[in-house]
Amino acid sequence: MPSKLFSPLQFGPYQLTHRVVMAPLTRMRAAQPGNVPHALNAEYYGQRASKGGLIISEGSQISPSGQGMPATPGIHSPEQIAGWKAITDAVHAKGGIIFLQLWHVGRISHSSHQPASALPIAPSAIAAAGDAFTASFERVPFETPRALETGEIPSLIESYRHAAANAKLAGFDGVEIHGANGYLLEQFLQSRSNQRTDRYGGSIENRTRLLIEVAQAVSEVWGADRVGVRLSPFGVANDSGEEDPLPLYTHAIKELAKLGLAYLHFIEPRASGAGQAEVDHKDVPSAAELFRPLWPNVLIAAGNFKPDTAEGAVASGNADAIGFGRLFIANPDLPKRLKKGAELNPYYRPTFYGGGAEGYIDYPTLDAREAAE
Ligand SMILES: Cc1cc2nc3c(=O)[nH]c(=O)nc-3n(C[C@H](O)[C@H](O)[C@H](O)COP(=O)(O)O)c2cc1C
C-alpha cells in the first residue's frame, strides 16, 4: 500500500511533500546575554529541514516575562529577530517550511527570569506543584505567581501580536500558538489554575476567551491560514490537567474552528506532555480521534509516535500529519529514514536541555553513517 505519511498535504497556503513534522523542542541553547538564536541553532534547524517538510520551532518567549527556563530564545528583541532570520534562511535553503511557536510560560517561571525580579504572572495566584528552573540552572519550588489584573490583559494580547509580527520579520512561514503543557494559555483554560471572577475566568466560555482573543490577534497579523494552535487536552505536564476535559476542549476547538486557522496540533496523552519521562500510557483517549470531527482543517498529532503508529494514524484519517519530538532530536534526516524504513539513532536524554554542540548537531545522518561503514 502506498504510504499516506509520504503523500502531499495542503497546509494553509503551503504544499507539504510529506507529513513528518518536526515538533517544537526546547533545547535551551540560545546565546547569552539576551536569549538570542545563533549560528549553532541555525545549523541544527538546517540539518533537520527537508524539501516540503514542516518544522515547528522550539517555544520562543513573546516577551521577557514569558520566559521560564534559562537560555530559551525569544522573539521580542531586534537581535532575536536577526538570529531567527539566519535559521529561517537555513531551512528555506533546503526547501523547508518553518513556523515559530509563540510561548508564554505564565506561572511556570521564576522571578530570576523576570524583569525587575518580579513574580511570574498567571491567571490566579496559585502556585504550580513542582520545581522551577532558575536563571542559574537551579531547581527550586515554584513561587506563587501574581494574578494578572483584567486591565493588563489587552497588553498581554498585544505582546502576542507584536511577537507574531516579529516572526514575520524573521522570515517564518507562519506561527503556532502554544496553548498546551501547562503554560499561560492553558493555565487560563483550566479551572485548577484559573479561579478568576472576571470575564476571563469561571465558565468555560470565559476561560477560553484569552486563547481565542490571542488567536484572533495573531491571525490579524498573519492571516488565519498561516496560524496554528497547539493543545494538550489530556496532558498533565507542569501541574496541568482539567478534571473533565471534554466540555472545555469541545468548546475551545469549536471556537477555534470558526477562525479558519491553518491547523490544530494535539499532544496525545500517550507521552508525558513534554516528553520528560519514558512513559507509554495505554488505554487513554486519543485527542486526535475524539476531536477530529470538530476540526475541518489540518490536524497534527504528536506524542510517542513510532513509524508504524504514525502511518496508521494518518491512514485512519484521525490525523493529517504527525509531529515527532525525541526522534527528530536524534535523527536530523528523520523523514528520509522513515521513508526508507531505515534504522533510527537512539536519543540521548542528558543533552536535551542546555549545553552546546554535543547531542545537538552531532547526531549522524544516514548518509554519514553509510559513508563511515
Ligand atoms: C526536549 C524536549 C523539549 C520540548 N519542548 C517543547 C516546546 O518548546 N513546545 C512544545 O509545545 N512542546 C515541547 N515538547 C514536547 C514535544 O513537542 C512532543 O510533544 C513530545 O516530545 C512528545 O513527542 P515525542 O514522543 O515524539 O517526543 C518538548 C519535548 C522534549 C522532549
Query: What domains does the chain contain, in order, with CATH numbers?
Result: 9-372 (3.20.20.70)
Written as nine digits, the cell of 335 is 523523514
Residue 283: what pLDDT?
Answer: 60
Question: How far is it, in rounded angstroms, from Cα 193 to Cα 202?
Answer: 11
Give the tens place of pLDDT for each residue, 61-110.
999 999 999 999 999 999 999 999 999 999 999 999 999 999 999 999 99
Question: How far is it, in rounded angstroms, from Cα 263 to Cα 265?
Answer: 7
Residue 25: what pLDDT?
Answer: 98
- Residue 276 — pLDDT band, cuts 50, 70, 90? very low
pLDDT at 13 over 70: yes
Residue 102: what pLDDT?
Answer: 99
Paired with 322 in beta bridges are 20, 301
187 neighbors 194 (Cβ within 8 angstroms): yes
pLDDT at 338 over 80: yes
Paired with 231 in beta bridges are 179, 266
Decide: helix, strand or coil at residue 15.
strand
* Neighbour-count burial of 68, counting CB atoms closer than 10 A to its CB (0-12 exposed, 13-18 middle, 19+ buried): buried
Range 203-206, long-range pairs (CB < 8 A, 24+ positions): 204/247, 204/248, 204/251, 204/252, 205/251
Distances from the Cα of 75 to the Cα of 144, 165, 223, angstroms: 26, 9, 19
26 neighbors 59 (Cβ within 8 angstroms): yes
Task: Give the residue whose CA is nearest to atom 18 of ligand 1.
Answer: 325
96 neighbors 51 (Cβ within 8 angstroms): yes
pLDDT cut 90: percent of the chain above it: 92
Task: Give the residue whose CA is nearest to atom 25 of ligand 1.
Answer: 304
Distance 274 CA to ligand 1 centre (A): 5
Residue 372: what pLDDT?
Answer: 79
Residue 278: what pLDDT?
Answer: 44
In the predicted model, what is the mean pLDDT of residues 121-149? 97
pLDDT at 297 over 90: yes
What values do phi and psi take at 213, rounded to 5?
-65, -35
Helix (H) or strand (E) holding 147: strand 146-147
Written as nine digits, the cell of 76 is 521580542
pLDDT at 177 over 90: yes
37 neighbors 90 (Cβ within 8 angstroms): no
Q: Average pLDDT, whole number, for the chain?
A: 95
Atom of ligand 1 nearest to the CA of 276: 31
Pocket test for ligand 1, best of 326, 334, 347 (most atoms within 8 A of CB): 326
Distance 275 CA to ligand 1 centre (A): 6
Give the tens place of pLDDT for each residue, 197-222.
999 999 999 999 999 999 999 999 99
198 neighbors 140 (Cβ within 8 angstroms): no
Give the tens place of pLDDT for each residue, 223-266.
999 999 999 999 999 999 999 999 999 999 999 999 999 999 99
Which residues' Cβ are closer than 6 Å to ligand 1? 23-26, 58-59, 101, 178, 180-181, 230, 267, 271, 274-275, 302-305, 324-327, 352
Residue 26: what pLDDT?
Answer: 98
Question: Active-site residue numbers?
Answer: 183
Question: How far is it, in rounded angstroms, from Cα 365 to Cα 8?
Answer: 24
Range 326-330, long-range pairs (CB < 8 A, 24+ positions): 326/275, 328/22, 328/23, 328/25, 328/48, 329/25, 329/359, 329/363, 330/363
Written as nine digits, the cell of 183 is 503554560
Distance 349 CA to ligand 1 centre (A): 12
- Whether the predicted model's global pTM rises above the 0.95 cut: yes
pLDDT at 289 over 50: yes
Atom of ligand 1 nearest to the CA of 353: 1
Distance 1 CA to ligand 1 centre (A): 30
Atom of ligand 1 nearest to the CA of 304: 25
Atom of ligand 1 nearest to the CA of 180: 11
